[in-house]
Amino acid sequence: MVSHKAGGSPVTEADHLVDRFLKRRFEELLPEAGWLSEETEDSAERLTKKLVLVVDPIDGTRAFALGEPTWAIAVALVRDGRPLIGIVHAPALQQTYVAVKDGGSRLNGVPIEVSGIATLDASARVGAPLFLAEELRQAGLTFTLQPRVPSLAMRIAYVASGALDAGFASENSNDWDIAAADLILEEAGGRLAGLDGVELVYNREETRHGLLTAAPRQLQSQINLAMRRARGAPE
């Protein structure tokens, strides 16, 4: 059964079941860690913790409810604002992305890395919401838009594996959507950042983020510069 939260986003009983299961297990494994999850009422107590688990029980709930495979469970262990461990598990696709800080990224145990693309052109494979893809084109960027991936964590993980050359997230993504995939991308040679290029910080009081780009490091500066120009932001 699908219901809707105050902001209009869907939620299923499975979201809550996975959330409760993970919270119970991690409380046993890491009792000292704080907890930040999309499906648990937020508590300021997490702000006092050095270690925090950042969880999206089902990222891509609409896809899950429709029986589509592109949804995932995302878990990150964050220390001092940055992820130490990131896991994005897509059961329906039998894909598990795992990264450990300074230990590389793996898909089903096999090391992965971002694509070697150096510039966006018509051959570049990009994942982005339709309205944002149009803004990118108006900014003078050329690329081939790929089929929509409802799970933001999966979209970023696809960039990490080279399945996408770049990915984008519109404003108002939250820590739980991106923290795990952020580390997976970083350890694969890419970067997730806002248009200012500054490294993201997690477990702040405000969990929401602005427009984000996920890309190989050599490509991100080109994308961000074009987007800043298009939006009239300082270069």
Residue 177 annotated as binding? yes
Domains with residue ranges and CATH for the chain: 2-111 (3.30.540.10), 125-230 (3.40.190.80)
**pLDDT tens-place string over residues 32-76:** 999 999 999 999 999 999 999 999 999 999 999 999 999 999 999
Residue 121 annotated as binding? no
Tell me how crowded residue 24 is: count the other CB atoms within 10 A of its CB. Answer: 9
Q: How far apart are CA 216 and CA 192, in angstroms?
A: 9
Residue 59 annotated as binding? yes
**pLDDT tens-place string over residues 130-184:** 988 898 898 888 999 999 899 999 999 999 999 999 999 888 899 999 999 999 9
Residue 56 annotated as binding? yes
Q: Is 60:150 a contact under the CB 8 Å cutoff?
A: yes
Q: How large is the angle between the packed helices 175-187 and 152-161, nearest 10 degrees?
A: 0
State pTM to two decimals.
0.94
Per-residue pLDDT band for 230 (boundaries 50, 70, 90) equals: confident
Give the list of residues 6+ apart from residue 27 with CB closer than 8 angstroms, or none: 35
